[in-house]
Each structure stands twice: as structure tokens, then as C-alpha cells.
Chain A
Amino acid sequence: MGVPEVLQPPLSLRILAAYRRFIRWLTSARVLLALILLVMMVYLILVPLYRMVETTVTYQERDVLAVPDAVPGQLTAYHWVRMLASRVSRVFLYAPLQHSLVVATGATLLAMFIGSVLAWLVIRTDMPGRHLVNNLATIPYIMPSWTIAMAWKVMFNTRVAGGTPGLLEYLIGRPIPTWLAYGPIPIIISSALHYYTFFFLFVSAALMSIDSNLEDAAELAGASRSRILRRITFPLVLPALLSGFIMTFSKVMGTFGGPNVLGTPVRYYVIATMIRSSVAIGEFADGFVLAIVLILFTIVTIYINQRLIGTRKSYETIGGRGFVAHVARLGPWRKVLAAGVIVFQVLVIALPLGLLAYDTFMLHPGNYSLSNFTLHYWIGKSDINIANGTPGVLRNPKIYSSAWNSIRLSLATAFFTALLGVILGYAIVKGRGTRLSKLVEQISFIPYVIPGIAFGAVYISMFSKRVGPIPPLYGTFALLVIVSVAKHIPYSARSGVSAMLQVGRELEEAGQMAGANLWQRFKRIIFPLTSAGFVSGFLLTFITTMRELSLIILLVTPATQVLSSQTMRYTENGDTQMANAVILILITLVLIGNFIIGRFRGGSLKKGLGM
């Protein structure tokens, strides 16, 4: 280079300067936090992922059966070739993947429409009954994903899948076409009705924080209503929409329940079914190849997401100025609209729940006569002729201890996940564009697509012995919390990022100049402003953890038994009424939690927005 030698400072000084620069970089809050998170995620996420990848590229013991000269543990491309380019690839990978993409795209678009419209109606209009709509909107997600699919089956069943015809065929007296009863269309609709909650929560949080002054300014400048929507409102909720898109899309891609009920009878298989199929017969390597293909698809989606909002479209809407929120007047339509929305929501909720509840009151399922009505499955004493002598669920002390465990686990997981979400959001958003931030964001997505059972299996070996400062945790309640938090990192990252994206940089900088340290800035500025994100992260995690089964089944002990594993016990035993009763208890508990958290959310949000 053309630098004269005399100007070159001595080497020691240059090293010192580089060292200082490094320390300054390292001690900036976002970098420090990002590094701490990275370490944590390396252990909690990358180790399981590494084990998965390792499994796919080595011969497993049972491969000897298919490949006679295979040496277990030896490196091989066998599983990848088998899944990607052999005669079975089409039935195990390409056709199911295509189905998954169709279902996930369709369900996500439909969910986006429902969720956004509802969010707009609740937050930005004078529609009556908004509180009710708001409260009802989270319930479909609270119900296990297959309940809506089951209700669909009861409504639309056709002769193809055997059994008695559905309610609709009974009413109209004509057979229902198969495409409406089974296959992609019903899977898309039932998944969208289940997952629209994601969009609703994110979009309403975003809409709440948009200052109407922005829209007013546009209106003053002469913009039409649709132009304001397109050019102001839509770009501002875009991060929330994309968060919802990714969550819903990857969730539907990975979901097994709905497609199992509505796809299996017409042999419409999705990739989640095939992963489960491989794992069920012990072909973990094949299953993990499929899971990694899913992970790659998700990473591509995240990449597109980052390209879309990463550089250009990041808007800070919570500024240091005053805040105004106007509501749109719906005029004479408001009551009709309100009635329509509420009827729709109630149908989506009441039908599945009603069927479940109705079932628990029947001594023998399918017999609708009054003499068959019973409260036995709820409050009956042990009777050897019914359900092998299991007492009614409300008399069973096991149910109470499981319920308590479920609540404990969900609250602990939700708290840590939401806290982690705010920190993750801070580290990712403040460092947006840097490689470190991208890395953290991408890793944070991986748990989504690691099958729950694989997570559990790897955690047994990771936590059964002391590793460095980590004590052996296998068999403890703490490990259940850790694995649940790890699995929910994608949720926390998403809600954290979309909340944090809206907090103006100047607010924190002002605090910094006034001499506030990181903790004070977090406590006094960041946290209050992102409490909506914190609470929605908390809520989502609370709900999902209550229902989680495959993730923790390998790690629970009788002492840490949870409600969801109780339903499995009853189902396997053929006591569907009791299983349904437990599901109803579970839903009730989540509803109560939802209600309490909702109170908290309203209060803190208003405070956060200075209202």
C-alpha cells in the first residue's frame, strides 16, 4: 500500500488498538447479548442438530440389513441418496413435500386473511363486541390441532373413509364430494382455522403501536383510503405479517395431527407423516434426512423474510413523540359485521368443543338417547364395569397432580421463553444486518423443525451426566423446562423481533446519554415498550407447552406427569370419554391462564404506550 513507513505505528500499538476495538465491540450490549445467546443456543440447539446430521451421514446398525457390507458408524451418503434419488424418493420425499407445500401455503394465506381482518376490526374500528372477538380469537389455537379436523370429519364424513355419514350428508340427503371431506382442501381450511391466532396476535400488536398521525398526515396530503392502507398501514404491519407467515407456514409444514385425520384415508400424505413413519419403525436416519429437508426449506423462507424487511422496511413506530390511535367508523354495517364475525368464531370453537363435551356425557359413544347420559366420566366413583374401574376425572388425584405439573411447566417455560424473546429480539434487531445477528436469528429457527421426539432422545444423553458446569438433570423437572424453552426459541425470537422492530433507537440512545446502564435501559425503556411482545410470546408458549406431548414423553417421570400424557393414556386404553374430559380440563386451564394474562397485557400495554 502507499502508506509511508514513518506513519505506520509500531506493531504493539496496532495490536493494542485492535484489542481495544475488539473489547469495545465485545462490550456493546447487543454483541455481548448475542454472544451469550449464541453460546446457549449452540448447546441447546446445535448439539441436537449435529447429532441429527451425524445420524444421516453414517451407517446405522440396522442398515446392515439393507446394505450387507455396511459398517455401522462409517461415513456414507446412503440415506441421502435413498431419500433424494432412489426409486422410493418419490413416495417418501417428493410427493409428500409437494403436498406439504400446497397445504402450508394455502393454510397460511387463509390464516393471514382471517387473522389480519379480525385484528384490524378489533384494534382499529368501532365494531361492537371487540373485546369478545379479541378473547375468542385465541381459543382455536388453544384447542389441540386435531380437534378441528375431527369436527370436520364429523360434519363432512363420506363413505370413502367408512363409518356413518357426516352430519351434512344426513341433513342435505346427498353424498358430500370426496374433495370436500378429505384431502388438501379440508386440511388447508382446518389448519387455517387453527393457526389464524398467530396472525391475529402479531398484527394486532403491530396495529396497536402504529401512530395514527402517520395515517392522518397521508390523509391531509390527499391520499385515498386504499392508498393509505397500501402505502402506510400495510408496510408498517409487514414485519408482523411476515412473522406470522413464517410461524404459520413452518408450523403447518411440521404438523402431523390434521393431515393424519383428513389426509390418511385418501392416502394424501405430507412430509411430517413420513418423518413420523420413519421414526416409528426405527429408521431415524431416513426420518432425519426428511427433517433436514424441512429445516432447509424454513431457512430459505427466513432468508427471504430477511431480504424483505432486513434493510429497507424496518420501521420504528414507537417514537419519543405523542401517540394517537384513531378508529375507523364502520357506519351502519358495524352490527351486521360484528354478528357475522362472532358467529364465525363461535362456530369454529363451539363445534369441536361441543363434540368433545357431548362425548364425555355419553356412557357409550355414538348412542345419543337420553338414557345413555352420564356424569360418570367426570364425577363417577370407580366402577369395574366402566373404563376398567378408573374413577371420573374430577375424582382422580392423578389428574390434579398432572394439572398442577402442566401449569407449573407451562408457566416456567412461558416465562423463560418470553424473557429470552425480548433479549433475542434486542440482540437481533439492534444488530440487524450484521453477520452475528443473522446467525443468531437463523439458529433460533432450527428447533421448529427438529421432531420433538428426536429432541427428547438427544437430551437424555446430553443431560444424564455432568458436563462442565451443567449438573446431570435427567429425570428432573428442570430438564423439562429446559427442553421446552429450547423448543420454543423460535416463538420467542419471532415475537421478540417483531416487538423490538418498532422501538425507536433514539429512546434507548437518550437513556444511554442520561447515563443509564444496560440493565436500567432494559428495565425502564425497552421492556415496558415491548411488553406486548413479551406477553404474546408468553401466551403462545404457555398454550403450546400445555399441549406438548412428544417433546417431553421421553423425559417425564410419574412424578412429573402432565395432563397431555394423561390423555394419551386414556386414548390408548379406549377410554375416549375420559381422554376428552381431560382435554376439556386442559382447554379450561389454558382459557383461565389466557384470561389472566390478557388482563395483565391490557394494563401493561396501556402503560407502555403512555395512554
Chain B
Amino acid sequence: MSSALWFSLVGAALVAIALYGVFAEHHPLRRLIALNMMASGVFLVLIGLARQLPGRVPDPVPHAMVLTGIVVAVSATAFALALLRRLSRVQQEEG
């Protein structure tokens, strides 16, 4: 087994573990962490596939997609945290 395939499989397992986390956790922050982990799993699958090309050079397109994905994922996380803050503030005001 090549290490590219191994990392792709690890990525697939991460997606599955994180999916379980999203469904089975009940605290919103834990769900958010699980979602981030799922994103990491997807990135790992993509970069693993990029490495499985013939020749020495990996495919740059998935690399660019993952770079964009990392930045978008952290923006989405920050937005979700802002929503969480708002939620807990509303809960606090309701008493």
C-alpha cells in the first residue's frame, strides 16, 4: 500500500468519526469541532488523491482547493462561534 492511499483511507476514517461526532454530540461547540475535523478528513482524501498521479509531481489543483478550503473553514467556524455567542446571550437574557 502506498502512503498516499494510506492517508486517503485515514481521511475517510476521519470523515466517518467526525460524522458520528456531529450526530452523537449534543454540545454545540463539540459539534463545531467535529465539523472542523470532518473538513480535515475531506482535505486529507483530496491531497492523498493528488499524490496518486503518475510521476513525481503532485496535482496542484487539489492543493489550491484545500488552501481555499482551510481559509473558508476557519471563516465559517468564526461565524458559527459568533452565532453561539449570540445564542448564549439570548438564553442568558431569557433567564
A binds B: no
Chain A residues near B (Cβ < 8 Å): none
Interfacial residues, chain B to chain A (CB-CB below 8 A): none
